[in-house]
Amino acid sequence: MLPPMPFGGKRERIGMTQLKAKYDEQSAVWNGVAGHAWAQEQDLINEAFKPMEDRLVEELWTVGAAKVLDVGCGTGATTLALSKMGHGAVECVGIDISQEMIAAARARAAARQSTAQFVCADAQAHAFAATFDMIVSRFGVMFFDEPGSAFLNLRRACRDAAQMRLLVFRTASENPFMTTAERAAAPLFPAVPVRVDGPGQFAFADTARVRAILEAGGWTGVEFQPIDFECSFPSGKLQTFFTRLGPLGRILHEADADTRTRIVTSVRAAFEPYVDGDRVRFEAACWMVSARAGIQSGML
């Protein structure tokens, strides 16, 4: 049964003004420099994270869901892979806040004649019909401003006993590759953002926090499986990776030409331990978060 009063006293309600402000903030990020870079470099990102995509396809095969929602779908690689595995028998929907990434996802779906559908909206507040029997995400849920409200809303999108499989990063210390660029650049460019608690790449590393969020949102049977994925991409794309993506990629354009040159040289040297001939190889330390939708005892 769903808890009658999540978050220890009353249901979390966000006023429309506050919710719109949160939406506008995230929309500005993912419809700005970050979203543009991710859309343009979708092939690089999808190659690097292909092992995670494959694992989520395996999870769909095991669960046997008929209708799947891919949260924070980006340019749609995982959504399309899930749809392809289902051979048209599985209805797959991807949702993302980035207009440019959703446009890229729709273009890829059309080129492949895929039945996958894509929605440009905020998963925290979008009015879903309660029809999904599985929710998946490949690094798409760590950026919620209001994760409590988000997972309540995602529960509303699901049938009772629907399954959820989320891939999220563990701690920054377990993922040194992911912070190499900013650590190497910081002495040369103090404007590099410092990672703080809140929405971001490692926001779901703390299992106790994530468990509390999910259980308060009506999700039961929460489990965490540590998985270390072996990832790689062409070494010729390394400079593109660290100059366009991540915290450094979002602000590097603000540096003057001389500083940019020194940053690129320093960061490239810092990545040398990960270069193996024509490939960049790294390990991504992740959690596979599993849960199921609790039985509704009333309106959420």
Q: How far apart are CA 50 and CA 21, in angstroms?
A: 34
Return the pLDDT at 25.
Answer: 66
Return the pLDDT at 297.
Answer: 60
Structural domains of the chain in order of their starting residue, each with its CATH number: 16-172+197-231+284-293 (3.40.50.150)
- Going by their DSSP bridges, the two strands 158-169 and 132-138 should be labelled as parallel
- Tell me the average confidence (pLDDT) per consecutive run of 10 residues in the chain, 300 residues long: 33 48 62 81 96 97 95 97 86 96 96 96 95 97 94 97 98 97 96 84 97 97 98 98 93 95 98 98 98 75
278 exposed, middle or buried (CB, 10 Å; 0-12, 13-18, 19+)?
exposed
Nearest alpha-carbon partner for 69 in 207, 186, 166, 188: 166
Distance in Å from the first CA to the final CA of the chain: 12
Sign of CA dihedral 194, 199, 202, 208: positive
CB atoms within 10 A of CB 1: 10
CB atoms within 10 A of CB 200: 16
Q: For 10-31, b where at least 16 C-beta lie within 10 A, e where not — what string?
A: eeeebeeeebeebbeebbeebb
Return the pLDDT at 227.
Answer: 98
Sign of CA dihedral 105, 106, 110, 113: positive
Give one DSSP letter per residue of 213-226, joined into a string: HHHHTTEEEEEEEE
